[in-house]
Every structure is written in structure tokens, then in C-alpha cells.
């Protein structure tokens, strides 16, 4: 798992890499002892999500948030802990991803409608929340065979009924390049954190 740290040091400037390394170890320690359905350490999941986002050229804040995206929901860490250790911007992205999963539904139709509503609201606030969530879902989809049959059907039906499964595969096979070109991504302070600008390889 240490390969990603070498990748981080080669890609990001020193001060950004320091935040990423801190997020890596914070999440790894927070998830220590937790297991996935596959039997792997739970940290392999946020690690994989962060790796996907690094490959897409996302900024250090987004990748740090990917490492941390399940920490508040699945470990004793609190929002105040994340704010204190990583600041308000990363906390906002982490809680944004967490909130996408927190609403309970009375019917499948209500769930589908609410999914679109949550996506649009999150995009209005910060599109990076959606990018993290897409990477999260991609890795979960890759792991579907390790889940129970009942859970597999639930996840597969959700993706099929919202017509997102083909789009996920298409987007990530293309490295999100076609979808990100020309989209300007700005953080809450107005800094341009667009991962891929038009004309870039």
C-alpha cells in the first residue's frame, strides 16, 4: 500500500503531499481492525478511491477527502476531529459524501428520485463531492461479488434504474477526460482546481 505515497510525492508539491500523507495515515489508523466483505482490510477501499482520483488528476484536497470519506461514518472520528486536523474545506467534502448515503426511503421510486435530488444539490455546492462519490461507487461495483446475493441485487438495480452504470464505466474508462474537459472546478475560495483543462493530454 505504500506505493501510493511514492506516487503522491512525485505528483504533488511538497505542502500538498504532506496533507495527503497525513490523510492516508489518519484514515488507515482510523479504520484499523475493520474488514470488508472480501476479508480485506477496510482501508483498501478509501485507498482505492483515492488512487482512482489521483489517476484522474484531482487536486490534493479531493484526494485527501477520498482517503477520509468513510472516517466520520464508520469510525469514532468526529466532524470536529476532521476540521481540527484538515480544515473546513476537506471537512465539507467528507461530510458531503457522507450525506449522500444517509437518507432513508419508503420506496424504491422515492429512493431513485432522491438520488437525483441529492446529486444536483451536491453539484451545486461542490462538484468534487460527486466525483468522490463516483469513484467510491466504482470501487464498490468492482467488489460486488463479495457481497450477499440480496445486497448485490439492491446495488445493481439501483445503478441500472438510474441509468448510471454504463455512464460510470464509460467515464472511468476514458479517465473522465471527455467529461472534465472544459468544466471549470472552483473551490470555496475561488481557486481553480480544474483537474483537466481543454486541450491537455
Q: Which residues are catalytic?
A: 73-74
**Short-list 147, 156, 129, 161, CA closest to 49:** 129
Which H or E element spans position 180?
helix 177-180
Return the DSSP state at 41: B
**Short-list 71, 2, 62, CA closest to 196:** 62
The answer to whether 40 and 51 have CB atoms below 8 angstroms apart is: no
> How far lies 29's CA from each of 24, 43, 76, in Å?
9, 9, 11
Cβ atoms < 10 Å from Cβ of 152: 13
> How far lies 63's CA from each of 32, 51, 113, 162, 178, in Å?
20, 8, 29, 26, 20
Amino acid at each position: 500500500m505504500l506505493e501510493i505515497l511514492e506516487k503522491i510525492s512525485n505528483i504533488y508539491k511538497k505542502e500538498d503531499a504532506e496533507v495527503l500523507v497525513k490523510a492516508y495515515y489518519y484514515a488507515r489508523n482510523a479504520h484499523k481492525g475493520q474488514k470488508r466483505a472480501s476479508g480485506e482490510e477496510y482501508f483498501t477501499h478509501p485507498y482505492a478511491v483515492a488512487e482512482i482520483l489521483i489517476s484522474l488528476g484531482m487536486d490534493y484536497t479531493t484526494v485527501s477527502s477520498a482517503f477520509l470519506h468513510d472516517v466520520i461514518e464508520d469510525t469514532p472520528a468526529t466532524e470536529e476531529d476532521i476540521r481540527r486536523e484538515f480544515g473546513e474545506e476537506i471537512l465539507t467534502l467528507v461530510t458531503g459524501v457522507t450525506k449522500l448515503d444517509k437518507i432513508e426511503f419508503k420506496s424504491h421510486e422515492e429512493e431513485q428520485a432522491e438520488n437525483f435530488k441529492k446529486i444536483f444539490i451536491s453539484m451545486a455546492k461542490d462538484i468534487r463531492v460527486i466525483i468522490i462519490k463516483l469513484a467510491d461507487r466504482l470501487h464498490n461495483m468492482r467488489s460486488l461479488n463479495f457481497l450477499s446475493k440480496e445486497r448485490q441485487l439492491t446495488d445493481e438495480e439501483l445503478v441500472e434504474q438510474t441509468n448510471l452504470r454504463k455512464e460510470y464505466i464509460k467515464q472511468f474508462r476514458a479517465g473522465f477526460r471527455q467529461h472534465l474537459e472544459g468544466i471549470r472546478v472552483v473551490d470555496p475560495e475561488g481557486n481553480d482546481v480544474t483537474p483537466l483543462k481543454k486541450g491537455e493530454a
